[in-house]
Amino acid sequence: MKKLTLALAGSALFALASGALAADLDAGKAAFEKFTCASCHGADGKSSTMPAYPVLAGQHQDYLEHALRAYKRGASGAPATANTRKNAIMGAMVAQLSPADIQNISAWLSSLPSPLAVRK
């Protein structure tokens, strides 16, 4: 009986976690569109309008979150010792993002297929 209860509880937690992840991905896609990220990085996150703009699709979620927070710190005038990134365009774009937007956009982008790969 204990094993059955434990299995059901585990299944319920897994189902809830999967549902939360899907909601975050949907919110990330919506925020990517709302904040016009596609105007530079492409609607798929990998078809940038200029070669200098990075491919975002398939990038690691933690890296994307760190980069967006660093641009936000740079735009707020934080000292260089605060691990900032300074770019006028990105600074203006990320100034509009909430912490939840940053997390959701990063999760959505990291879930997309892309040419980024680890080759052996």
pLDDT of 44 higher than 80? yes
Position 76 in a domain: yes
Token duo for residue 35:
């904040």
For the domain that residue 93 is a member of, what is the CATH number?
A: 1.10.760.10
Q: Which of 27-31, 48-52, 63-67, 115-119 has the lowest mean pLDDT?
A: 115-119
Contact between 104 and 34 under an 8 Å Cβ cutoff? The reply is: no
Domain carrying residue 75: 20-111
Q: What is the pTM of this model?
A: 0.76
Beta-carbon contacts of 9 under 8 Å, excluding residues fewer than 6 positions away, are: none
Q: How does pLDDT run across 58-72, given as a tens digit for each residue? A: 999 999 999 999 999
User: Domain count of the chain?
Assistant: 1
Q: Which residues of 95-118 are buried (b: 16+ CB within 10 A; e: fewer)?
A: eebeeebbbbbbbbbbbbeeeeee
pLDDT of 6 higher than 50? yes
